[in-house]
Each structure stands twice: as structure tokens, then as C-alpha cells.
Amino acid sequence: MRLMIYFLGILIMNTVASRFCIAESQKTDSLIELLQSELHDTVRINTLKSLAIKLKLQNPDTSILLSSLALELSQKNNWEKGIGTCYHVLGELYWRKSNYSLSLSYYDKAVDIWGQFIEEKPNSIFALKAMASTTGNIGVVYSNLGNYPQALKYYFRTLEVMEKIDNKKAIATMLGNIGIIYYYEGDYPEAMKYYLKALEMAEELGNESAVSRHLGNIGIIYFVQGDFQKSLDYYMRAMELDNELENRRGVARHLGNIGIVYFELGKYPEAMEYYLNALKIKRQLGVKNLYASTLGNIGTLLTVIESYDEAEAYLDSALQVSQLAGINDIAWIYEAFAELYEKQHRFKDALENLKLAEQWNDTLFNEQKSKEIGKLEAKHEFETAESERKRLAEEERVMLREAQHRRDNLQYSGILIFLALLGIGLFAVVARPLRAVRPIYLRLSEGMIFFTFLLFFEFTLVLLDPYIEAYSAGAPAIKLGFNAVLAALIFPLHSFFETKLKKRLAN
């Protein structure tokens, strides 16, 4: 085992050494050194999981290997908490690799384990938090698959658990996620409802970054609904807050959105000012796909105000940056070129760009269809695997019930035979007493009668318990009443036999 960990450590270090900063490498190195020492299995499992989580962004394949080792060790030790956590981690790792079917399979296994914990201890904070974390991640997977009803189902399930343990930060996050799903579905009133709830809770918690995010999302809802003034108000508030937080990416995003609102309002100088400010920050951030759209928006605005040469230059820059960034959604840039050339009466160039726009739209459509087909295949694969898992689980439950039924029947038969033998022995005692040892024999006979009827009473309780439980719904007072009635019915029989025995022995 130690040799395997040693070679695994070398593999990890060789794989990720060039990607980690010095501090992260030292942390990883210390975890590997810890694995090579003599450890309790629980400590080893936790160390493997910690190392897997540490490497999940840089090398998910290595993280999967580490998590699988931790899972195997947890199963060997029958450590349910470790097994559930490993299932959860593996679900996340396969989600990062876009293997949604396998991700959901592991997440569902984790949910089963957390459900058992909650059934045993309904108020266990660990179990409730673990359940919420897993169901929330399942919602994310379904959102990625475009299965928004299922995503909502799991988000609401997570929200219910978080409300139970009063985790306000997680509640605010989940409210925002629910709002996003409703936005994707085009249900803007519901999206607004949950964005506002999330905003209120984020403000209550003083979580300014979350407040800014929710303000921006509310601004988007107002924009798509055509209420540009309210959209502008929320964008401004979000921008001011992100500016205070020095969140430059957020500031750039809000500047661009404000520019779009001013463009729709026909306030072109204001739109240009915000576009240029957004472009400046986005260029400083150095992420090409952030500022390609802003270059295109500036080109479109320059076309509207008939500054054609500058418009062509900006649109050309937008096209080049998009191609360098590997952005496939560039049909709109060709459409912007076509509009520009049409205004310049360059109809041949306009027609060529419209054809290019159509080609790119077809390409994008085909890519989207391929992704949708892939998602459907993944969904079908998962549903097939889930159906098979449920079938096998049901077969196992049936087999267990049959085995339990056979065991109960054998035990019931044994108890009945034993009671019958006791009854025969009791009859023999009453029929043929031994006078020579009458005092001792009398006590022994009384004891046999008492023991026989006590055993009969308990046996009857066992037989009737399922029916009593169903009728009483577990209420202790009702169950006690049934027991009292049964005892009252058996007591006269006990008295009758005891009296007969004493008379027989006295004679």
C-alpha cells in the first residue's frame, strides 16, 4: 500500500508541478508525505479526499483516482460517512469532465447514504448539510443538461433543507439559482420574485458581492421586459457596489449593460461613453471573449450614427478577436457588417456577409443540436442505468423479504412446538402428581404454568404487533390498551389451570 502511494505521489507531482504556485506545491507535497506514513484508515481516507479536492481543477483524472482509492478504503472499513463523501466528490469530478450520466449516478448514491443518516438522526446538522450540498449539485447538473424542471426540483429540495437548518447564506444562493432557472425558462415574473428574495437576504447578511450579482440579474429581467429605466437603475446600483468592492470584471460587465440600455433608449453619446469605459477595463483584464462583444457593440453604434469607417474598423476588430478567442457565435458580427455595407450601398459586400452569417448560424445550430443530442443521450443513459439500479434494488428487497418471511415462519413454528411441549408437560403434571415431593413439586408446577402463559402472551404480542402498530399508528397509549386487553383474556386461563393443579395436588 505504501509503495503504491509513493508511486502515486510521484505521478501527481510530475503532473501538476508546473501548474502550481510554490505554496500550493508545498501543501500537496505535505499531503503526499502524510500518505506515505503509517496512518489510521480514517486519516488516510480523509487525506486522499483532501488531495483529490486540491487537484480537482488542475488534474481531475488524478483526483478521480485518489477519490476512488478513498472510496475503496471507506467501503472496506464500512465507514458510511466516508463512502457518502467519496460519492459526492466523484459526482463533482465527473461533472467537471462533463460526464453528466456518471456524475448523477455518484450523486444519487450519496443522496441514498445521506437519506439513511437523516432517517436515523433527523436533526443531524452534518447529514442535512451533506444532503443539501449534494442535491444542490444535482440541480446544477440538470441545469447544464437543459433539464430545467429537474433542476428546479432539486434546487427547491435543497432550499427546504437549508431553511430547516437556517443557513441564510446558502438560502440566498439557492434563491438566486432558482431565479436563474426561471430566467432560462422565460418565466420572468417568477425569476424576478426569487431574485428579489435573494437580494433581500443578501442585504440582510451584508454579503455585498452577492447583492451586486442579484442587482445585475434584476436589471437583466427589467431589460428583457422592456422597462429600460428600472433596468438602468439596477445596473447603476450594481456598478457602484462592484466599484467599491474593486470587482473590475463586475464593473466592466455593468458598464457594457448600461451602454446597451442607453443604445436602446437612443442616447448614443451616453452609450458610447459606457461602451468605451467597459472596453478599456476588459482589455486590461486581458480576456478576449469579454471584450469581443463590446467591440461589436461599438461598431453597431457607429453604424447607426453613420461613422462608417470607424464602424468597419471596430467590427473587423470584433471579428478578429472572436476568431482568436475561438468564439463560434459570430454570425451577428457578419450581420452587423451587412447592415453597414447596405447603408453604404455596397450591396454585393452586404450580400456576401449575409451568406456568411447564414453559414455561421447553420454551424452554430448544428453545434447546438449536437450538444442537445449529447445531452439527450447522456440523459437516456442515466435513466437506463437508474432504471436498472432500481430494478436490482427491488429484486434485492424482494429476496430479503422472502428470506425474512422464511426465517419468521421457522421461528414461529419452533415457538409453537415448544409451547405445545410445555402444554403436554403441564397436562402430565396435573394428571399425575408426585406426592412424595409435593411442596417442591407444587412450586415447580406453578412456575411452569406461569412461564407457559407468559411465553404464550409474548408470542401472541409478536404475532399481533404489525396489526396493532397499523391500528394505533405507534401511539403508546393505544398499544398499551391492546396489551392490557390481551392480558385480561389470558389471565382467566392461567387462573383456571393454576387452580386445577393445586386441587389435583391437594388430593
Average pLDDT, consecutive stretches of 10 residues, N- to C-terminus, the chain (507 residues):
38 38 43 44 68 69 82 84 88 86 89 88 87 92 88 92 89 92 92 93 90 92 92 93 90 91 92 90 78 84 87 85 74 82 84 81 56 49 59 71 70 67 63 51 65 70 70 69 74 69 60
Up-side HSE of residue 194: CA atoms within 13 Å toward CB?
Answer: 21
- DSSP annotation of 114: H
Contact 158, 195 (CB under 8 A): no
All residues at 6 or more sequence positions from 304 whose CB lies less than 8 Å from its CB, including other chains: 268
Q: 187 in the Ramachandran plot: left (φ > 0), alpha (ψ -120 to 50) or beta?
A: beta
DSSP assignment string, 444-457: HHHHHHHHHHHHHH
DSSP for 6-47, written as a single string: HHHHHHHHHHHTTTS-HHHHHHHHHHHHHHTS---HHHHHHH
Nearest-angstrom CA–CA distance, 161 and 123: 11
Distances in whole angstroms, Cα of residue 103 to Cα of each of 100, 109, 144: 5, 10, 12
Cβ density class 172-203: b for 16+ within 10 Å, e for less: bbbbbbbbbbbbeeeebebbbbbbbbbbebbe
**Which residues, 6+ apart, have CB-to-CB distance to 489 below 8 Å?**
none
* CA pair distance 293, 285, nearest whole angstrom: 15
Q: Exposure string (b/e) for 265-280, b if CB count within 10 Å is 16 or more? A: eeebebbbebbebbbe
- What is the per-residue pLDDT for 15? 41
Say if residues 269 and 307 touch (Cβ distance below 8 Å).
no
Query: Which grid cell is 485?
Result: 386487553
Report the amino acid identity of residue 495: S
Exposure string over 413-423, b if 16+ CB within 10 A, otherwise e: eebeeeeeebe
Q: Which residue has the cell 450540498?
A: 133
Distance CA 164, CA 93 (A): 28
Note the pLDDT of residue 397. 73
pLDDT of residue 296: 84
Burial class from Cβ neighbours inside 10 Å (0-12, 13-18, 19+) for residue 318 reads: buried
Label residues 21-44 b or e (16+ Cβ within 10 Å = b). eeeeeeebeebbebbeeeeeeeeb
114 within 8 A of 84, measured Cβ to Cβ: yes
| Dist CA 333 CA 355 (whole Å) | 12
Q: What is the dihedral of CA 81, 87, 93, 95, to 10 degrees?
A: -130
Separation CA 381–CA 383 (nearest Å): 6
pTM for this predicted structure: 0.63
Q: How far apart are CA 244 and CA 237, in angstroms?
A: 11
pLDDT reported for residue 408: 67
Return all residues near 429 (Cβ < 8 A) that are at least 6 apart.
Answer: 441, 445, 448, 501
Handedness of CA 25, 27, 33, 35 (dihedral sign): negative
pLDDT of residue 95: 87
| C-alpha closest to that of 359 among 331, 327, 324 | 331
